Amino acid sequence: MDRYKEIIPAWERFWETLHRPLSPVIRTNTLRISPLELQKRLEAKGFRLEPLPWDETAFKVEGEIPIGNTVEHWLGYYYVQEATQAFPVRALAPRPGERVLDLCAAPGGKTTQIAQLMENKGLLVANDPAPKRLRALLANLYRLGVLCAVVTGLRGEEFPKGIHFDRVLVDAPCSAEGTARRHPRLRRGAPLGIIRRMAGLQKRLLSHALKLVRPGGIVVYSTCTIAPEENEAVVKYALDQGLAELLPWEPPVPYSPGLTSFSGEEYGPELKKAVRFYPHHFDSEGGFVAVLKRTS
């Protein structure tokens, strides 16, 4: 990741954090149980739960057995979701009764979170073209009791127009450098070839998403990678098509603003409104979130 030395603040701390293990975080399935009730049940089983100060539904968990191996998990009372991964949906801010599209949905961490915020009311389209990952998505939707979702298996860039969505989430396939704490080989950074190939697909997905949302509607673009080619460059490409503007968004945790340039590429001052998360800021993984509003 040496090529990010100039853009990542407190590089030494960042690098050191990548070598530290990450405690799992769970999100209460509020469609089924309250955070307090869940906390009581898991603590009675010997887990230690520490609520995240910025999210009343989420807990950092420690225990002797893997947190995915409990009867409560099997019953759909919670979803194991890393803290950074919860922010794209908070930025999307879906409401009950709306029409929402999750364009790259599997395995459903964010789809189920959207359904919770929609209180199972409205229309939630969950799309993903990968058959194996779709199976995991379905299992999670059924397990958590998501009733407002319709599942499709299309390539996002070919998703048909015709429904005017209020909100679209593009949680794009990416090189996943932000997950290096769990996948140590990513500490050296993703190969540039992969980054370039991902960026091409991401540009197609985000520009298409802007055509699927109604004028005035919101598109959130998110990744779990650090590469500016997959983040700011993708958002700039979509903005240049003249359909959307970038909205400011303040997450409730420390973050860095989006980059205005990298490695000779200019993204422009507008991109400061995007948000970068780094693992050393709140002991998490890395990620990127940009909130776009369709203007015309």
Partner 1 sequence: MPSSNEQANEALTYFRERFGVEELPGRVVERGDALWLTTASGELPEGIPTIAMGVRLLRRHGRGLKPTSFGLMLLGDRIRAQRVNLSRSELEALLQGRTLTRKDLPPGYVALCFEGEVLGCGHVKGGLLRCQIPRGRRQELLTALSAARRGGV
Ligand X SMILES: C[S@@+](CC[C@H](N)C(=O)[O-])C[C@H]1O[C@@H](n2cnc3c(N)ncnc32)[C@H](O)[C@@H]1O
Catalytic residues: 224
Based on the shown chain and the rule CB under 6 A, indicate whether residue 171 belongs to the binding site for ligand X: yes
Q: Residues 41, 74: contact at Cβ < 8 Å?
A: no
Based on the shown chain and the rule CB under 6 A, indicate whether residue 105 belongs to the binding site for ligand X: yes
Cβ 108 to partner 1, closest distance in Å? 11
User: 91 to 120, contacts with partner 1 by CB under 8 A?
Assistant: 97, 99, 120
Return d(Cα 185, Cα 32) in angstroms, integer.
38
Residue closer to ligand X, measured from CB, 90 or 272: 90
| 10 contact choice in ligand X, partner 1, none (CB below 5 to 8 Å, kind-dependent) | none
Phi and psi at residue 94, to the nearest 5°: -70, 150
Cβ 162 to partner 1, closest distance in Å? 5
DSSP per-residue string spanning 233-246: HHHHHHHTTTSEEE
- Specify the pairing of strand 78-80 against strand 165-171: unpaired
| 130 contact choice in partner 1, ligand X, none (CB below 5 to 8 Å, kind-dependent) | ligand X
Cβ 88 to partner 1, closest distance in Å? 22
Of the listed pieces 9-17, 48-56, 125-133, 246-254, which binds ligand X according to CB under 6 A? 125-133
Amino acid letter, residue 261 = S
Phi and psi at residue 117, to the nearest 5°: -70, -30
| 171 contact choice in ligand X, partner 1, none (CB below 5 to 8 Å, kind-dependent) | ligand X
SS3 102: strand
Q: How far is CA 208 from the centre of its chain?
A: 18
Based on the shown chain and the rule CB under 8 A, indicate whether residue 69 belongs to the binding site for partner 1: yes
Amino acid letter, residue 286 = G
Q: Residues 183, 176: contact at Cβ < 8 Å?
A: yes
User: 12 to 51, contacts with partner 1 by CB under 8 A?
Assistant: 44-46
Q: Which residue has the tokens 């005035």?
A: 216
User: Which of 6, 10, 132, 163: binder of partner 1 (CB under 8 A)?
Assistant: 163
**Structure-block tokens of residue 115:** 């359904």
Return d(Cα 219, Cα 216) in angstroms, integer.
10
Phi and psi at residue 179, to the nearest 5°: -100, 20
Q: Residues 219, 241: contact at Cβ < 8 Å?
A: no
Cβ 175 to partner 1, closest distance in Å? 28
Based on the shown chain and the rule CB under 6 A, indicate whether residue 90 belongs to the binding site for ligand X: no
Based on the shown chain and the rule CB under 6 A, indicate whether residue 104 belongs to the binding site for ligand X: yes
User: 235 to 294, contacts with ligand X by CB under 6 A?
Assistant: none
Amino acid letter, residue 231 = N
Residue closer to ligand X, measured from CB, 36 or 221: 221
Cβ 150 to partner 1, closest distance in Å? 5
DSSP code of residue 21: -
Residues that bind partner 1 (CB under 8 A): 44-46, 63-66, 69-71, 73-76, 97, 99, 120-125, 134, 138, 141-143, 145-154, 160, 162-163
Residues that bind ligand X (CB under 6 A): 103-110, 128-130, 133, 155-157, 171, 173, 201, 205
